[in-house]
Structure 1
């Protein structure tokens, strides 16, 4: 029987774990890189309904799995030249930032369960979130107002971001919600090495003079160097706060997610557009990451979030070790490159520990598709 992982806040209040500042390994969708100028707290009038009737919406049921990250790993395998790990202690985790944020907030979550697939393949561990029954039902039952609020978030970015460092934003065109720019980071959380993709909003141009990025023809190393030196900003929208209970809700729930997302991407500045119920942003306010922690210390603690995240990665390795010994014997623990694909399904719901609920059939609903499994490992320096 596989072990369980308990999630109570009191288990994770020790000192903040060792966490190295995220390092940029690469990028996805460079053509969609954006820039933000004149970020300051001020009054504005941004109508987020502008051209909403011509907006290209992102499908609410879009199942991204790990597709873009896997393509990146395949295309950059020779450049990155990751070691071929033979034991679980050194295995790298591959995932998206959204999954890490969800995990880090688990000790404080009292409503939404989650489901995560764990796959061990050629010495690496892949983590992918899957829909729960609750999340499927929520997507199906989204109200028109909820759909509009989602589109407003994309439109707000258009009012603040431009295509070049020296250009002004141009919100007078319809939004394509499918356009994304992402960075791929690596970091270490105690002994765990993690490689993860994170969608980024834009480069903050107020801090230093920002040159135009190198053309792709300059090569990935030149572009990575440029992006590594850039200061990115996170953009958010929120309903105007008018009553004390709204302020309490903001500090209890929103700030910890904003902090976690930004911290994992090495972002220090968040710009929030406060809007009314008609989708008009009337105020901009900037937050520094340290401010979010200070204003919300009554409600959540960053130490809890990252100590749980660290324990979760340890738990995954422990569960995989038991599965390897069960299927392949003790010798399999030091010969990961020779093992067949091993997969587990982890599930959690509020009030319960994290549990392994079974194996995951990658053939029925592939997290690692054939085009990746067949080719990854062939394009590297030996």
Structure 2
């Protein structure tokens, strides 16, 4: 794998879409106008310009503050505790940044469990935590308001950050305002509004990803694969003048750096598994998309390191490499820039604020077309889209602080 990051020349040439170098200064292609785009008022369109338009000094991103955490067990049961927090097996931590191993990701594959969660459930789990810990989020001058601009899972935020470079991805994010805070929920491909259990893993690559994480956390190589257990940290971060609360799933903590009552995620490590890269075009794609995704996830969360396993097509990991999050933009060799991602995100969040301000009672749909812009529409029949459940809106500002799924108060200052 060493030659990947130390190769020089950039793969420029013309791609399939007939454009040059999708790095700096390139934007959406010329294309026929879609029906959705044709029907849009320009005031409701967030135009995605060429990436160089977002260059310049990036908004300040403060160190994310840990407010608390919660666990989801193998039955997808929510708990105000840290029982599902995992720790890195340090024998897999490369001393010089790189290590040769032989890890078979197919072991225990016949015992793989079924993932039964979905994005709506994950979002509701965050709301449960907020409901039980609302005191640490209350606005001190306005008692009927949280001191937060946006509340979301991490994925909608990283999706937005990657949009200036990810032209081939379409997405939908719904937004609703409640008592001064805007709530984001990203629509999944199977429509998050429809309750569906995933009966099986989508493919072997998903199984391998969970198995690799199990190896890194000292799991039994012959044991089964558990996909439903999660530990999530609730973080508050300020980007420029915008405050965000989100709850990323965290892979593991370094036992040498972990401390009780941690206030940030500097002692945590992201774990990723991907295919070994040899072809130039796949190396370029990896730099442009994977490195950008990993960087956005870790940078928002304040996780400083990524432990990556490179596997062959048979599911055997031969190489482990440890990267610093802050080194990823340079490793991308110009395929994307951190400042562009931050500036784009800040501008889009301002756009969302301006749209919702016009009618805070409405549900808004922000839709990114493939190779296109982002269009904002009001959902005509908001009764069909229940982003915030009644048990949350009815009790958030009431005196009843306990949520219905726990008997114990789990205060934000007692994270662990």
Shorter-normalised TM range: 0.7 to 0.9
Per the alignment, residue 35 of structure 1 pairs with: 87
- Is 1:3 aligned with 2:55? no
Residue 347 (structure 1) aligned to one of 367, 389, 393: 367
Per the alignment, residue 394 of structure 2 pairs with: 374
Per the alignment, residue 289 of structure 2 pairs with: 253
Determine the C-alpha separation between the residues in 2 that align with 1:229 and 1:109: 27
Deviation at 1:238, TM superposition (A): 0.8
Determine the C-alpha separation between the residues in 1 that align with 2:228 and 2:107: 18
CA 1:133–1:64: 2 relative to 1, 3 Å: closer
Deviation at 1:57, TM superposition (A): 2.1
Determine the C-alpha separation between the residues in 2 that align with 1:23 and 1:12: 27
- Is 1:147 aligned with 2:167? no
Which digits, 9 at most, give the CA deviation of each residue in 1:329-351, with x for residues without a partner?
A: xxxxxxxxxxxx43211111133
The answer on whether the counterparts of 2:161 and 2:344 sit within 8 Å (CA) in structure 1 is yes
CA 1:74–1:232: 2 relative to 1, 3 Å: same
Per the alignment, residue 192 of structure 1 pairs with: 242
- Is 1:50 aligned with 2:91? no
Give matches, 1:1-382, under 5 Å: 2-8=43-49, 9-29=51-71, 30-36=82-88, 37-38=90-91, 39-40=93-94, 41-59=98-116, 63-64=120-121, 66-83=123-140, 92-132=149-189, 147-162=203-218, 169-206=219-256, 208=257, 210=258, 213=260, 225-226=261-262, 228=264, 231-324=267-360, 341-359=361-379, 361-379=381-399
Determine the C-alpha separation between the residues in 2 that align with 1:116 and 1:358: 12
SS of residue in 1 equivalent to 2:334: coil
CA 1:246–1:308: 2 relative to 1, 3 Å: same
The answer on whether the counterparts of 1:48 and 1:156 sit within 8 Å (CA) in structure 2 is yes
Deviation at 1:161, TM superposition (A): 0.9
Deviation at 1:3, TM superposition (A): 3.1
- Structure 2 residues without counterparts, runs of 5 or longer: 1-40, 72-81, 402-416
- Structure 1 residues without counterparts, runs of 5 or longer: 163-168, 214-224, 325-340
- What RMSD, in angstroms, separates the aligned Cα atoms of the two structures? 3.1
Deviation at 1:245, TM superposition (A): 2.5
Deviation at 1:86, TM superposition (A): 9.4
Greater helix content: 1
The answer on whether the counterparts of 1:12 and 1:304 sit within 8 Å (CA) in structure 2 is yes
Which of the pair has the greater relative contact order for Cα pairs under 8 Å at 6+ separation? 1
The answer on whether the counterparts of 1:14 and 1:303 sit within 8 Å (CA) in structure 2 is yes
Deviation at 1:132, TM superposition (A): 4.9
CA 1:361–1:91: 2 relative to 1, 3 Å: farther
Deviation at 1:371, TM superposition (A): 1.0
Determine the C-alpha separation between the residues in 1 that align with 2:263 and 2:210: 22
The answer on whether the counterparts of 2:213 and 2:251 sit within 8 Å (CA) in structure 1 is yes
Q: With structure 2 as the length reference, what TM-score do the two structures score?
A: 0.75
